[in-house]
Amino acid sequence: MKTVNIGIVGLGTVGGGVVKLLSEKAEWFRQAQNLPIWLRRVADKREDRIKELPTGDAIISANADDVLADPDIHIVVELVGGTGFAKTLILNALAAKKHVITANKALIAQHGPELFEAAQKNNVSIYFEASVGGGMPVIKTIRESLIANNIVSVKTIINGTCNYILSQMSEKNQQFATVLADAQKKGFAEANPDLDVDGTDSAHKVAIMASLFHGGYVPYGKFYVEGIKEITKDDIAFGRDLGYAIKLLGIIHKRPGEEYVDVRVHPAMVHRNHVLATISDVFNAVLLEGHAVGPILLYGKGAGEMPTASSVLSDIADAARDIVTNAARRIPMNYYHSDKALTLKPVEEIISRYYLCFYVSDKPKVLASIASILGNHQISIASVMQKESKEDSTSVPVVFLTHKVLERDIREALDEIARLDVTKKKTRMIRITGQDYGDKDIQRR
């Protein structure tokens, strides 16, 4: 049986995890799974870092080109990150007819079509299970297990940092900035947390998922993304009073027969009876609904050294099986690099329920004037709650939950209300999810 030689470029957190897990499992892969894999090369600029790791007989190098230049390498594992050097590296690896395994969600989301086309041209594959959901088998479940399903809905909590911050804000009744600082101290948030808290990282993963199943590429950067920076502890407390938890959700919906795909990332009020409301701390979850299978939930650690390494090794096993059996490009990626970019539904056209929190001067008639503007925009009110604010004595928060309305109407009404001189602070608007689309989400009791 032929040998399958692996070269790893980038020995950061995930790369280190992969080296460790390979050193533990490679012999078992060879003996019990008939997968003749060998770690032949590793490359990283930091010599000290390489020395910490159980690289065994692998040839060590400071230069990624050494990995690409080795004709005996069959699989290049790109764990450098970023969209510059990593992109060149992958394109060069593909051009050299090497299979590529990557955990690089930004790269796949932004340059997927180009990369998958290059893979096809060279008759090699790109494996990217670790790019979405850390240790959870999101890509394999979508592409293989649910292959006979039209995926009608995805709702996902796919960024552990944001979920940790929102969980802590709720638990400790603290503001975003306080919790973020604490999360940074504990290593649950980066020194520069923008990619996470702005929703960008979630959007990368959502773009990848959406591109896999609706017959075309979902162009990253073309759908609505809103992060969690503006969520206040008031929002969380009011939400809780009303029976909702606030989660940063990635949403992908496609109504049967509708041309549009509705893709978005934003904070959402999730009813406490909905399974996604129970996902706390750094845990991630992906709730898929297939037309045949119904709802399926995957739940686990969406990031971290060993969970992500676990997915990279599952890709190594798949790639090795494909190499051994001469089955390169076993699972086609024709959607992702089709010419057909999907038509996305503008967020103004979604229909949703909304949480609105107005901060107004505590004068008589204020409630009436707001309600009247909402009414003029065909916005029907489900409930109203006025609370005392402890933080800000110049204004009081008034919370409205709407029935289902068109987002364009909400936006127009909010613009009008913003111009009222009783409005003292920016109005908070959070979409409510769960029952929209009449979806058959898993409910817990």
What is the amino acid identity at position 49?
A: R
Positions in 58-117 near a copy of itself (CB under 8 A): none
Structure tokens at 34: 């008939």
Applying CB under 8 A, which of residues 91, 295, 386, 387 lies at the interface with a copy of itself?
295
SS3 content of the chain, % helix, strand, coil (to 5): 40, 25, 35
Whose Cβ is closer to a copy of itself: residue 17's or residue 219's? 17
Closest CA to 64 of 124, 134, 311, 81: 81
Applying CB under 8 A, which of residues 185, 365, 390, 444 lies at the interface with a copy of itself?
444
Applying CB under 8 A, which of residues 92, 167, 427, 433 lies at the interface with a copy of itself?
167
Applying CB under 8 A, which of residues 334, 378, 383, 435 lies at the interface with a copy of itself?
334
Rule CB under 8 A: say whether 301 interacts with a copy of itself: yes
Rule CB under 8 A: say whether 174 interacts with a copy of itself: no
Cβ atoms of 184 and 193 within 8 Å: the answer is yes
Candidates 103-111, 316-324, 388-396, 397-405: pick the segment binding a copy of itself (CB under 8 A).
316-324
- For the CB of residue 312, give the shortest distance to a copy of itself in the complex, in Å: 8
Closest CA to 76 of 53, 51, 49, 95: 95
Structure tokens at 392: 């800000």
SS3 202: helix
For residues 365 and 399, give the distance between their C-alpha atoms in angstroms, rounded to a whole number: 15
State the burial class of residue 185 (Cβ atoms within 10 Å of its Cβ: 0-12, 13-18, 19+).
exposed
For residues 385 and 240, give the distance between their C-alpha atoms in angstroms, rounded to a whole number: 12
Candidates 135-143, 221-229, 371-379, 392-400: pick the segment binding a copy of itself (CB under 8 A).
135-143
Applying CB under 8 A, which of residues 13, 145, 184, 232 lies at the interface with a copy of itself?
145
| Residues taking part in catalysis | 205
Alpha carbons within 13 angstroms on the beta-carbon side of residue 356 total 31
Positions in 188-247 near a copy of itself (CB under 8 A): 215
- For the CB of residue 77, give the shortest distance to a copy of itself in the complex, in Å: 13
- For the CB of residue 389, give the shortest distance to a copy of itself in the complex, in Å: 26
Count of positions (residues) in the chain: 445
For residues 20 and 47, give the distance between their C-alpha atoms in angstroms, rounded to a whole number: 17
For residues 314 and 18, give the distance between their C-alpha atoms in angstroms, rounded to a whole number: 11
Build a one-symbol-per-residue string for 19-38: x at contacts with a copy of itself by CB under 8 A, - elsewhere.
Answer: --x---x---x--xxx----
Whose Cβ is closer to a copy of itself: residue 166's or residue 413's? 166
Contact residues: a copy of itself, CB under 8 A: 17, 21, 25, 29, 32-34, 129, 135-137, 140-141, 144-149, 167, 171, 215, 275, 278-280, 283, 290, 292-301, 304, 306-307, 309-311, 313-314, 317-318, 321, 325-327, 330-332, 334-335, 442-445
